[in-house]
Amino acid sequence: MSSRVSSFILLMIFGVLSTITLNVMWTTFGHLTIYHMMLIFIIASLGESIVSSQGYYHYTRQERNGPFIRNVPIWIAFLWTFSIQGSLLIALLAGATGIQAILASGLIACLADLILFEPFLCRNKQLWRWTPVTNGYFRFIPSRFNRFTAPLGNYITWFLFPIIANGFLGLLTLIF
């Protein structure tokens, strides 16, 4: 496979997956899905850029990561969109409603990162590398708890971000 094609594989995969979840979300939530997607995309893009520039982790500049904006591969924002919307859809399909579905989406996304994304994309494919930061955002967490591929603070983020984003969507459905 040519290097030009291989550099866009993750972008294509997560672009297609996020398009699928966006389409299913549209049939469920209508035009509110656009605001939801925009919130996820903006927070994910800014958050990834800010946090990775602080030294917590860095994305490796290998061909598989594809094109970058600043220091973050473009596919990362699509991964977040797919994960957050997909986790809500899974919770809804499992029968959860309202706040239960929102909380379950955080748990589902966190488990996906713990079981799939970090072990496969970080440890196995080495698409990013974690760096210990002594005065970081989650410095209150003792280092002895960082026994996974990523620091515990990463999993807290993967739990909270879907709850916030999907809570925003829930709020929009109440208002409109």
**55 closest CA partner among 173, 122, 110, 135:** 135
Return mean pLDDT, the chain. 92
pLDDT category at 59 given cuts 50, 70, 90 is: very high
- Token pair, residue 95, equals 């029968």
Mean pLDDT of the region 148-172: 95
Mean of pLDDT values over 22-43? 97
Smallest Cα–Cα separation from 83: which of 170, 147, 160? 160
Q: Determine the pLDDT at residue 30.
A: 98
- pLDDT at position 167: 99
Q: How far apart are the first and last CA of the chain?
A: 48
Q: What is the pLDDT of residue 1?
A: 58
Give the per-residue pLDDT at 101: 99
Residue 113 phi/psi, 5° resolution? -70, -45
Please report the DSSP string for 2-24 in residue order.
-HHHHTTHHHHHHHHHHHHHHHH
* pLDDT(95) > 90: yes
Instruction: Provide the residue count of the chain.
Output: 176
Q: Where are the domains of the chain?
A: 3-175
Has residue 26 got a pLDDT over 80? yes
How confident is the model at residue 3, as a pLDDT? Answer: 58
Q: What pLDDT is stored for residue 2 in this prediction? A: 61
